[in-house]
């Protein structure tokens, strides 16, 4: 199994570019099924999850190609409308293919995405929204079979501003006659990026970023060229790494507005932040101070995906920080691994109390994508050497992480195994 070997204790200094957003390129790759034409997508990170999504598109009959950070998808001739279990297993967010398959093919068959490391990840909100738009859904032995008997535009109220349910509903709504309003929609920036892509494809969509998104008219059918927005969670991860290690880093190609809750926490922890256009510079004098309560919320609140990276930084602080994870029910699986490095964290239900201290190197293993990123941050700040196992979790969502950390002066080596 591949692993990272990290020697900690040095400050991070330097400049690295932010990659395109995993959580934007995935729904937009699914949305390419709608156009029946050629989509050229720039700033696409080369990640395990992106490769999984491309395998699904190829399975469905699309032609795909990568040239640097540009992906091309031609969805002119689809040959299937099912996503089999082995491809669904690779990436639970493959449920995002449900909407565009229904919209384009009038039917879809997916195996139910299982739960994952951070929670049950149900899809009830997706299914009730699609039924509201006229989709008939049968569940047969772990598969979902959908048919678009008579799609019709409607008001769809989401019980929770689910990102994936918003995206699936939006994608089906582009094939409904009349007007669809998605009420209590997720407001994450990735939704606005998807809206921008759909508009370029000819769809009539407005309101992304607000709580009501309105879709009118028919299926978009046009070749599209689009640039994926920067990855706000990758941005937050490197900022937390510098806050934990000390030093001064600059991130380029970033969108400061999308990480302002994280920047506020780090400023309250004693970091100095400067932003200019797409550049964010963070300067951190060790040790960080304890930070005010960190409550994860739907955007524009504090992002749940940045909870683990910020917790790793809080572990090195002088003082305490309390975390309240309100989005996922099992998102503290990185805590026992951080404790192996000397972290002092008490978890009670959805609350975690971190008392900062000095960390030491240890052998640890990743439990999930963002928990793995937290272990990298802690290892970079710890005295001594750490070995981080099961890094495939990390490579799902962080492009060229060892190279970027080394460019900032961090001591990290990827060893053994082949890149998955």
Neighbours of 220 (CB within 10 A): 23
Query: By Cβ distance, which residue is nearest to ligand EPZ?
Result: 164
Residue identified by tokens 């994508």 is: 369
Question: Between residues 271 and 312, which has the closer beta carbon with respect to ligand EPZ?
Answer: 312
Q: What are the two backbone dihedrals, phi and then psi, of residue 96, each rounded to the nearest 5 degrees?
A: -70, -15
Give the one residue of 163, 239, 245, 291 binding ligand EPZ; rule: CB under 6 A: 163
The single residue of 44, 105, 116, 176 carrying the catalytic annotation is 116
Give the one residue of 111, 162, 316, 321 binding ligand EPZ; rule: CB under 6 A: 162
Question: Between residues 167 and 248, which has the closer beta carbon with respect to ligand EPZ?
Answer: 167
Q: What's the chain's length in residues? A: 420
CA distances from residue 294 to 166, 167, 257, 265, 298 in whole angstroms, order as listed: 25, 27, 18, 8, 13
Residues between 70 and 99 with contacts to ligand EPZ, criterion CB under 6 A: 93
Question: Between residues 119 and 209, which has the closer beta carbon with respect to ligand EPZ?
Answer: 119
Q: How far is the CB of 123 from ligand EPZ (least distance, A)?
A: 4
Are 40 and 225 in contact by the 8 Å Cβ rule? The answer is yes
Positive or negative: CA dihedral 55, 60, 65, 68: negative
Are 131 and 201 in contact by the 8 Å Cβ rule? The answer is no
Cis omega (within 30 of 0) for bond into 287: yes
Question: Between residues 165 and 282, which has the closer beta carbon with respect to ligand EPZ?
Answer: 165
Contact status: 165 vs ligand EPZ (CB under 6 A): yes
Given the rule CB under 6 A, which of 21-29, 30-38, 139-147, 317-325 is the region that contacts ligand EPZ? 21-29
Distance CA 367, CA 393 (A): 7
Question: Between residues 194 and 362, which has the closer beta carbon with respect to ligand EPZ?
Answer: 194
Active site annotation includes 116: yes
Report which DSSP code applies to 289: B
Could you give the string, one character per residue 299-328, with x where binding to ligand EPZ holds by CB under 6 A and - elsewhere? -----xx---------------------xx
Give the one residue of 14, 119, 319, 409 binding ligand EPZ; rule: CB under 6 A: 119
| Class of residue 349 by CB neighbours under 10 A (exposed 0-12, middle 13-18, buried 19+) | exposed
Q: How far is the CB of 76 from ligand EPZ (least distance, A)?
A: 26
Active-site residue numbers?
Answer: 116
State the residues that interact with ligand EPZ by CB under 6 A. 22-23, 26, 93, 119-126, 160, 162-165, 186, 304-305, 327-328, 369-370, 397
């Amino acid at each position: 199994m591949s692993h990272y070997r990290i020697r900690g204790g040095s400050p991070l200094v330097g400049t690295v570019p932010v990659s395109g957003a995993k959580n934007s390129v995935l729904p937009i790759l699914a949305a390419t099924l709608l156009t029946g034409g050629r989509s050229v997508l720039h700033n696409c990170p080369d990640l395990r999850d992106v490769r999984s999504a491309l395998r699904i598109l190829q399975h469905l009959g699309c032609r795909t190609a990568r040239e640097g950070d540009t992906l091309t998808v031609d969805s002119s001739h689809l040959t299937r409308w099912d996503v089999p279990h082995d491809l669904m297993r690779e990436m639970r967010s493959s449920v995002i293919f449900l909407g565009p398959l229904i919209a384009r093919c009038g039917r879809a068959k997916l195996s139910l995405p299982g739960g994952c490391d951070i929670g049950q990840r149900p899809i009830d909100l997706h299914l009730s929204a699609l039924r509201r738009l006229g989709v008939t859904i049968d569940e047969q032995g772990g598969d979902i079979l959908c048919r678009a008997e008579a799609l019709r535009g409607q008001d769809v109220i989401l019980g929770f501003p689910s990102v994936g349910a918003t995206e699936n509903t939006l994608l089906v709504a582009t094939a409904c006659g009349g007007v669809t309003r998605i009420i209590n929609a997720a407001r994450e920036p990735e939704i606005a990026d998807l809206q921008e892509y759909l508009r370029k494809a000819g769809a009539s969509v407005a309101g992304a970023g607000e709580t009501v998104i309105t879709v009118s008219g028919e299926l978009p059918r046009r070749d599209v060229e689009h640039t994926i927005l920067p990855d706000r969670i990758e941005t937050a991860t490197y900022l937390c790494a510098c806050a934990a290690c000390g030093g001064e880093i600059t991130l380029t190609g970033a969108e400061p507005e999308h990480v302002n809750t994280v920047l506020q926490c780090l400023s309250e922890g004693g970091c100095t932040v400067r932003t200019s256009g797409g550049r964010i510079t963070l300067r951190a004098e060790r040790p960080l101070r304890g930070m005010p309560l960190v409550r994860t919320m739907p955007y524009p609140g504090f992002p749940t995906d940045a909870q683990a990276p910020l917790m790793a930084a809080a572990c090195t602080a002088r003082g305490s920080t309390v975390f309240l994870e309100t989005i996922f029910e099992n998102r503290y699986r990185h805590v026992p691994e951080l404790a192996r490095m000397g972290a002092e964290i008490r978890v009670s239900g959805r609350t975690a109390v971190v008392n900062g201290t000095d960390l030491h190197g240890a052998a640890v293993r990743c439990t999930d994508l963002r928990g793995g990123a937290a272990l990298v941050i802690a290892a970079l700040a710890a005295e001594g050497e750490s070995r981080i196992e099961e890094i495939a979790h990390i490579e799902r969502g962080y492009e060229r992480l060892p190279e970027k950390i080394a460019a900032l002066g961090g001591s990290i080596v990827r060893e053994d195994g082949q890149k998955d």
